Amino acid sequence: MATGTAYRVCPLCEAVCGLELTLEAGRVVKARGDGAHVLSHGFICPKGAAFPQLVNDPDRLRLPMVRRGADWRVVSWDEAFDAVAHGLRGVVERHGREAVAVYLGNPTVHSLAYGFYISPFLKALGTRNRFSAATVDQMPKHVACGYMYGDPLAIPVPDLDRTSFVLLLGANPWESNGSLATAPDFRGRLKDVQARGGRFVVVDPRRTATAAHADRHLAIRPGTDALLLFALTHVLFAEGLVNLGRLEEHVRGVEAVRSLAQDFTPARVAAATGIAAEDIVALARELAAAKAAAVYARIGTCTVEFGTLAQWLVDVLNALTGNLDREGGAMWPLAAHMPAVPARRRGFVTGRWRTRVRGLPEVLGEMPTATLAEEIDTPGEGQIRSLFTVAGNPARSAPNSKRLERALGDLELMVSVDPYLNETTRHAHVILPPTDASRTGHYDFAFTALAVRNHAVYSRPAIAPGPDDLDDCAILSRLAAIASEQAWEYDSSEPERRLDQALRAGAYGLSVEQLLARPHGIDLGPLRPRVPEVLQTPDGRIDLCPEPIAADVARLRATLEHRNGDSLVLIGRRHLRSNNSWMHNLPMLVAGPDRCTLHVHPSDAARVGVSSGQDARVTSRVGSVVVAVEVTDAIAPGVVSLPHGWGHRGPGLRLSTATEHAGVNSNALTDELVVEPLSGNAVLNGIPVEVEPAPVDGAG
């Protein structure tokens, strides 16, 4: 029985902090920050401390289950895989391979399986119906980087430890610990910017915890970040503040950006954004004057109707101020599994195929998750009849998730690789639960490639897996064998062998052996300039004004003429103790006051007749929810806010703690018919809603 101390990376969010696990009699009994970890230096948040509750959760499924009607039966792994093989064969025979779809959730990327087994599984299924959380929260960043740099995964991150000015839009790292920028103790790193004499400014409709600690908070109207960013660009050109520095010879399209920015004067965008023209001018000057600066924008700017334009303009501003690819600016990490020089220039295109019902373009080989429900519930050739979900809960994370839930109930075969019987997996016919994170090896492919300091960490399982434990590498490998109708050949040392090969071929020539000898990780140093080798555009230059993005500017320009009406708009919010839907079953994380409340500004509360503690009914085009109100001046007038990932209600859930803290599902209000056109990303912020006092009986 494992006893003692083990080290592993926390798999619960993008910060990938080092954990020190205390083991007793084959169980993890305590988690604290690994003080010697090369990137996190002992930092953890409450979610990391709850790691023992997560891996020991009594509601966690340990063995596969098969459903007939409402009855679940625990079965052997062989029986479960036989059920999958039989069901899949039938669906493919009746409807073809395009009738099979896959949805990959966020936690997928924290696994060794992400590096080695997802791709073969998708290839074996042979379907274009691939969906993931990327089109729920981040696809605009991939599209912007794809067009600008030729590689949608080449995402520059703020060089937080060396910068003197950070402009954050739609990001709340005080609570989220950062996203698409891996920086354990993000808040500490921002405080250090201030301690070095620098500043950080937050643009957000809410006075978030990050905004409350900022040197300046600008409360913007939801969904108008692209207007603000364009106005900042305009000021840089108008005042002669453009200076590309070292990148001058590597960039094309500067004059085209200048021309596009002409209409977006600070005075013209002020009304739409709610930010005064003089504040915009001052911000542009401060950004240009900073010794080193980084513009960083996250989910609040991605999940809106102009997400790709906003993400593009973030990088445009970094480039025009000479901060792209320079110390203290926005830089590209180089992870240990990545080659120093990408193999070939391949450029970037979208729309190689389109969704069946709405005709939306694929992006990165994926269909927009906002279209998943209609692809299931709309009859016709190519209709999805079978779905595999991997570590995802689209019944809570997809827009208009009530429609999706109804659709899931009609599938001929649904298979979920997931440890919980939740709002999504209750519709599955087979659940394949991977063993918990204390029994798996860990190397983070995704987030070492987004880290603000280059580093590498690998850990073997802290506790030896039992005879009935299968990790997601083994499960996905076997599903790939089933889908390709081949014999399953796999041994549990295979992922580590493949990791070793990837590390040896990587930029630093490391090996698994070297990483195992350094359980707190190997520090590979600060970020280094990577232009031009990081660029994969056909001509090897940064395209500052890609044609598909430029063509979308007219749509944005048209909003300059709009005037904000009286309608309230809904936005989301993050809390330190929550990460999407999957950690609400841990008592440590849901203790304390109800967090799933509707934030309403006092002036709006008075106007619509609601008050703190009272229930309000919130109604959008697609549905309504009844939720407790919290009146607060931390939210801008005209805006209301609900956190996402809640609403743990419905028959058949096995989430004993989460159902006691059910909350309401914000995606019962979001609209699947509104997507960001370039990326297919769901629009989850800026949803028009009506708020009124709930009927006394609370019926919604």
Q: Does 645 help bind ligand SF4 (rule: CB under 6 A)?
A: no
Residues between 204 and 263 that touch ligand SF4 (CB under 6 A):
none
User: Are the beta carbons of 239 and 204 closer than 8 angstroms?
Assistant: no
User: Are the beta carbons of 428 and 414 closer than 8 angstroms?
Assistant: yes
**Could you give the angle at which helices 307-320 and 139-149 cross, rounded to 10 degrees?**
50
**Cβ closest to ligand SF4, residue 9 vs residue 372:** 9
**Cβ closest to ligand SF4, residue 10 vs residue 231:** 10
Report in angstroms how near the CB of residue 587 gets to ligand SF4 at its nearest.
16
Stretch that binds ligand SF4, among 12-20, 21-29, 258-266, 553-561 (CB under 6 A): 12-20
Which position's Cβ is nearest ligand SF4?
Answer: 48
Half-sphere exposure of 199 (CA within 13 A, CB side): 11
Report in angstroms how near the CB of residue 91 gets to ligand SF4 at its nearest.
37
Amino acid at 245: G
Share of the chain residues as helix, strand and coil, in percent rounded to the nearest 5: 35, 20, 45
User: Which residues fall within 8 angstroms of residue 120, CB to CB, at 6 or more apart?
Assistant: 476, 477, 480
Report in angstroms how near the CB of residue 578 gets to ligand SF4 at its nearest.
10
**Cβ closest to ligand SF4, residue 168 vs residue 251:** 168
Q: Does 184 help bind ligand SF4 (rule: CB under 6 A)?
A: yes
Q: Does 437 help bind ligand SF4 (rule: CB under 6 A)?
A: no
Residues between 34 and 63 that touch ligand SF4 (CB under 6 A):
44-45, 47-48
Q: What distance in Å separates the CA atoms of residue 181 and residue 138, rounded to the nearest whole number? A: 12
Report in angstroms how near the CB of residue 584 gets to ligand SF4 at its nearest.
14
Q: Does 109 help bind ligand SF4 (rule: CB under 6 A)?
A: no
User: Which residues fall within 8 angstroms of residue 566, CB to CB, at 6 or more apart?
Assistant: none
User: Which residues fall within 8 angstroms of residue 361, CB to CB, at 6 or more apart?
Assistant: 350, 351, 352, 353, 354, 680
**Cβ closest to ligand SF4, residue 45 vs residue 431:** 45
Q: In 381-508, which residue ranges form alpha helices assigned H by DSSP?
A: 394-397, 401-408, 445-448, 472-483, 494-505
Q: Does 12 help bind ligand SF4 (rule: CB under 6 A)?
A: yes
User: Are the beta carbons of 347 and 536 closer than 8 angstroms?
Assistant: yes
Amino acid at 440: T
Report in angstroms how near the CB of residue 659 gets to ligand SF4 at its nearest.
23
In this structure, what are the phi and psi dihedrals at residue 628, rounded to the nearest 5 degrees? Answer: -70, 145
Stretch that binds ligand SF4, among 11-19, 128-136, 163-171, 231-239 (CB under 6 A): 11-19
Residues between 555 and 574 that touch ligand SF4 (CB under 6 A):
none
Q: What is the DSSP letter of 107?
A: G
Q: Does 13 help bind ligand SF4 (rule: CB under 6 A)?
A: yes
Say how many Å lie between the first and final Cα of the chain, rounded: 51
Stretch that binds ligand SF4, among 15-23, 162-170, 237-245, 641-649 (CB under 6 A): 15-23
Stretch that binds ligand SF4, among 13-21, 478-486, 601-609, 639-647 (CB under 6 A): 13-21
Amino acid at 680: G
Report in angstroms how near the CB of residue 39 gets to ligand SF4 at its nearest.
10
User: Residue 184 burial (CB < 10 Å; 0-12/13-18/19+)?
Assistant: buried
**Cβ closest to ligand SF4, residue 10 vs residue 143:** 10
Report in angstroms how near the CB of residue 8 gets to ligand SF4 at its nearest.
11
* Interacting residue ranges for ligand SF4, rule: CB under 6 A: 10, 12-13, 15-17, 44-45, 47-48, 177, 184
